[in-house]
A and B are shown apart, each in its own frame.
Chain A
């Protein structure tokens, strides 16, 4: 069956994520971070931040509510049973701290085929309330052929 590539370019509604202090700490602990700027408000303030700093990979958390619906979109029509997360890139701007509100928009950038595999590439662009781009994510999902 030829790959349906009509959804390339489709953008999904922006989603705003409010970054909470305890969520940042919970995440930092789950990934083994020990740097005090992630865990201790006083240490973060002493280092010049308004509140605890989200580890860079917390981008996976604030982007998730935007990328989720894109993956499940009916027009994109990904076969989930055969999907694996093949690759990921994040490019970071200014650090995110607790108290920030981060708005993420997901776009389907490409659908391509290589042998029996289909590649779905999504981009997420996340901005803070000062309209600075805090992270651009490129999500490559691979769907194995039948």
Chain B
């Protein structure tokens, strides 16, 4: 897919359902109770169960591979996790092509939930081949 500098990639929206963190725990092997046990999460000072950061990062990755037409295009993805994602609230991933360089598109991207960034300063590198 040809990209141009300044181009906005298609926005990705997704709402993790109530049991998403349980399915992701099983799929990934990360059973940290802050993601799957409401009472435990509250006991350690969280508002409730929070999303796995790497699941949220996978949404940012999916926004890139869907825009580029497949998994082979994603060469690199770098993110900073901020705040906490929670189940049952819509997440939006927005991505803008910052620069075309050496056959790759460098894309600025972020994930927001409830108006707050949960992944910020993220950069993806997509192959233009």
Contact = CB atoms under 8 A, between A and B. Distances in A.
A138 B78 CA distance: 9
A45 interface: no
Contacts, number: 90
B3 interface: no
B7 interface: no
Interface of B: 14, 20, 23-24, 26-30, 44, 53-55, 57-59, 61-62, 65-66, 70-72, 74-81
B58 A87 contact: no
B80 A55 contact: no
B77 A89 contact: yes
Contacts of B62: 31-33, 55, 57
Nearest to B79: A88
Contacts of A32: 14, 58-59, 62
Contacts of B81: 84-88
A20 B53 CA distance: 23
Given A90-B76, A91-B76, A92-B76, A35 B26 contact: no
A60 B76 CA distance: 14
Nearest to B12: A32
Nearest to A32: B14
A55 B72 CA distance: 9
Interface of B is mostly: helix
19 contacts: A29-B23, A30-B27, A30-B28, A35-B66, A35-B70, A35-B71, A37-B70, A37-B71, A38-B71, A60-B54, A60-B58, A85-B53, A85-B54, A87-B81, A88-B79, A89-B76, A89-B79, A92-B74, A92-B76
A117 interface: no
B23 A30 contact: yes
A32 B72 CA distance: 18
A95 interface: yes
A61 interface: yes
A137 B38 CA distance: 30
A85 B26 CA distance: 19
A56 interface: yes
